[in-house]
């Protein structure tokens, strides 16, 4: 299926990460022009610090200067869950730092990209959250992921009717070879490639009718109803 991504310009924040690399590869396979943004972007990438509003704006301005447009933004960047201290799951300082890096980082970059998209009458914004948003037992993970979903939904409503859509993808555990089994009370596993396939669809013109959604990968938490 042709997703209509040929010549589209997509900025992928965190494009050198575990999920981000798969997203970049899939988008390029579909013909998109992909710009990787990260703290250490490598050759042809764009440096960005998502905890800094000026840096987020600068990254978007660089894409616009180099390509004349920005059709889509994918934000996969966030400190890995394994880098958070389980002993500090309810520590306000760790929660605030994680919230700023993930949820506010998404919002900073989305806010920087939205005006150009609105002016063009077309844009796709996708953030990677996580199914910790639906679970207790890890305050840090729940707050940073739930806040991203809420921020994305509010932005989607703000941009409704402009041609710009905003969605989130919420994986459970991400592994190379996901199990088909889903334990009660737990989310199912998914792979970076599976996540990338969904993200690629959401940034395509075919997804024009999808906005304000939080879509799980790997099976939404078994035994839990969420709205």
Which pLDDT does position 174 carry in this prediction? 95
**Tokens matching residue 64:** 């616009």
Which pLDDT does position 227 carry in this prediction? 62
* pLDDT more than 70, % of the chain: 100
- CB distance 165 to 209 below 8 Å: no
pLDDT of 44 higher than 90: no
At 172-216, the pLDDT tens digits run 999 999 999 999 999 999 999 999 999 999 999 999 999 999 999
Query: Structure pTM?
Result: 0.95
CA distance 135 to 137: 7
- CB distance 212 to 156 below 8 Å: yes
Q: How many CA atoms lie within 13 A of 104 on its CB side?
A: 11
Which pLDDT does position 81 carry in this prediction? 72
């Amino acid at each position: 299926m042709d997703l209509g991504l040929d010549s589209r310009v997509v900025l992928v924040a965190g494009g050198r990460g575990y999920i981000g690399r798969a997203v970049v590869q899939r988008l390029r396979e579909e013909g998109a022009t992909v710009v990787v943004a990260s703290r250490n972007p490598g050759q042809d990438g764009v440096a960005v610090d998502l905890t800094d509003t000026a840096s987020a704006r600068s990254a978007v301005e660089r894409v616009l200067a180099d390509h004349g447009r920005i059709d889509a933004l994918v934000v996969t960047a966030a400190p890995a869950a394994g880098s958070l201290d389980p002993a500090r799951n309810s520590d306000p300082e760790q929660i605030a730092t994680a919230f700023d890096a993930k949820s506010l980082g998404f919002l900073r970059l989305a806010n920087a990209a939205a005006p150009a998209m609105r002016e063009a009458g077309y844009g796709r914004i996708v953030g990677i959250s996580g199914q910790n948003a639906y679970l207790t037992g890890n305050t840090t993970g729940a707050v940073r992921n739930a806040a991203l979903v809420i921020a994305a939904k509010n932005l989607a409503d703000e941009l409704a009717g402009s041609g710009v859509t905003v969605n989130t993808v919420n994986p459970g555990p991400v592994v190379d070879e996901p199990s088909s089994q889903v334990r009660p009370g737990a989310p199912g596993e998914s792979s970076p490639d599976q996540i990338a396939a969904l993200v690629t669809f959401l940034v395509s013109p075919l997804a024009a009718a999808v906005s304000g959604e939080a879509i799980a990968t790997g099976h939404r938490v078994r035994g839990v109803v969420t709205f």
